[in-house]
Amino acid sequence: MRHEEFIGQVQDRARLPGWGDAERASRATLETLGERVPEGLADNLAAQLPHEIGEHLRRTEVYGGAGSGERFDKHDFIERVAVRAGTNEARAAFLARTVLEVVDDATQGSITTKVRGALPADIRELVSAGSSG
């Protein structure tokens, strides 16, 4: 999947008014995911996404230290997405579900199964819910 297609899918599924809104939602979600999953897993996922999208996962990595694989729950995940996306938490939860659904489609589910396994149950629900959940 190309960058333009990825962002277009996010924009369409999340019913966002503009391209920039879809970019912002993608960045917010993937930076937060990059903080939560182990560094190697974030790298593997990033490698299967369009370069510009994958870099959001890598942006929060701090090699050899904190910043990747942090422990936080669903509430904290959504709160971080909300702050980064400049929206409220209910909208951030929907945006995160939508972006993660597009990630799953873009990778054909291969790596997202491992990502789900690295997440606690409450965040795993968010990853699995999709834009209609």
**Can you tell me the distance from the alpha carbon of 51 to that of 29, in angstroms, rounded to the nearest whole number?**
16
pLDDT tens string 89-100: 999 999 999 999
pLDDT at residue 131, rounded to an integer: 67
Confidence of residue 68 (pLDDT cuts 50, 70, 90): low
Statement: residue 130 has pLDDT above 60 = yes
pLDDT at residue 62, rounded to an integer: 47
Section 28-46 average pLDDT: 92
Structure token digits, residue 90: 């209910």
Q: Which fold has domain 3-129?
A: Globin-like (1.10.490)
Q: What is the pTM of this model?
A: 0.89
Domain boundaries, the chain: 3-129
Confidence of residue 66 (pLDDT cuts 50, 70, 90): very low
